[in-house]
Chains A and B, each alone.
Chain A
């Protein structure tokens, strides 16, 4: 067993972790990034579609391009990045991070820690669909990795379950690669992903989208042979008589992402709705030396936002290590009407910051308010699937506990 002291330690080499490393390094502190895969980049590696970087690079990039730009920004990768390191445990008392890698157990002793562990996919099994657990059922990310990295098709005829962005992107991708994509079922009455992806991934390729539909039954013994789909009512109960059999050998499920927080959830204050740690505008968690950024904090829509968060975490972790006195938290948000995902949950009021909110419902015209005071109006339709981002800069007269609401306006 080897021990290593480090100033800023980052867990996870996706967009948030890389951005945090770029920023922390600028302050001249000893920065290390641990990645469990063979190389960094995270899901950007396999997201070969365009649509990344509009905010950060003012260009529409593909995932690998965005990733390589971060590598270039970071400079000498070997100095900062340790690939093939898995974190087993974080000891909050001893402030130690225990890892496993090719060199065995290594215990890192960081002055500050940044959690950038991202999210994982929710499996189809969690939907408890009747039928055997046959081969041919994949999550969208796994199918994406097979097709885009390993050059393997998961099957011949596929139904996509769930219309999240990855599901829509994969419908197009599998169609382009020659699979017969019979359609996409979505249990909700509205698509889960961005409308632009419904247009360019489904409509462009004549792939049907069945809303308020789900898989009732999985057929087959060893390999998937088909599925029964049908319509559901407003309580998501199957409507008898709407069943339809689809002959498919592959199911690709895009049914949500789960922030990964097993390493910290026992000793860091968690937000049950975000399913991530409670953070402030400096991306500090409730534990002084631990920061967090990216999809482990809450599921974001855009990698650009994840990158910006990573930079904030990197900057403040470095300042903390250098002994700079960081401002204290003064304000706390509380969720009111119609507010789902929300971050940060508290803030210092020392500088303008970006806030992210998901509405629980689709609203034609709406306004976001802080304890009754309108902060911003939206003259366009907002949806749960599209995160609202706004800059908060006017702190005058704000109460310490701020009730955030999103309401329909005329």
Chain B
């Protein structure tokens, strides 16, 4: 069986074709222009994962929200659970880019980190 995928590792979006045997084992990966395409195809077939960009509420900040992301891709099947968890969070200003908001979010091994600076309301 041949499965068609679009690599999302970068904006080029290589069109990959992955040959699988009956048991779902990967036989061949074609169409990738760099090694990351191969890696993407393997995880996409076995356990699809995504970086989650999101925002978190801020108290006493010059903005109401701080943008954040998971520092590693998280399993797609846990996505909604993680989103619900993050929505209930609130952090206190000031927040700096790179600050750790949640460590090992829901046991995924990924941390939630701030992607911008939000100063305290003056």
Contacts and interface: CB of A to CB of B under 8 A. Distances in A.
Q: Do they bind each other?
A: yes
Nearest to B57: A151
Interface residues of A, number: 31
B79 A204 contact: yes
Nearest to A148: B55
Interface residues of B, number: 30
B64 A150 contact: yes
Contact of A195 (B6, B31, B83): B6
Contacts of A62: 53, 67, 69, 115-116
A48 interface: yes
Given A148-B65, A194-B11, A195-B13, A50 B79 contact: no
B55 A48 contact: yes
Given A65-B115, A151-B57, A204 B50 contact: yes
A60 B31 CA distance: 22
A92 interface: no
A314 to B, nearest CB: 24
B97 interface: yes
A387 to B, nearest CB: 10
A151 B67 CA distance: 11
Contacts of B69: 48, 50, 62
A176 B54 contact: yes
B8 interface: yes
Interface of B: 6-8, 10-15, 31, 33, 50-51, 53-55, 57, 63-65, 67, 69, 76, 79, 83, 87, 97, 115-117
6 contacts: A48-B116, A54-B10, A195-B15, A196-B6, A380-B33, A381-B15
Top 6 A-B pairs, shortest CB-CB distance: A64-B116, A48-B67, A196-B8, A151-B64, A195-B13, A62-B115
Given A148-B65, A204-B76, 20 more contacts: A48-B53, A48-B54, A48-B69, A49-B53, A50-B69, A62-B67, A64-B67, A65-B116, A67-B116, A68-B116, A148-B67, A150-B64, A151-B55, A176-B83, A194-B11, A194-B13, A196-B6, A199-B8, A380-B14, A386-B13
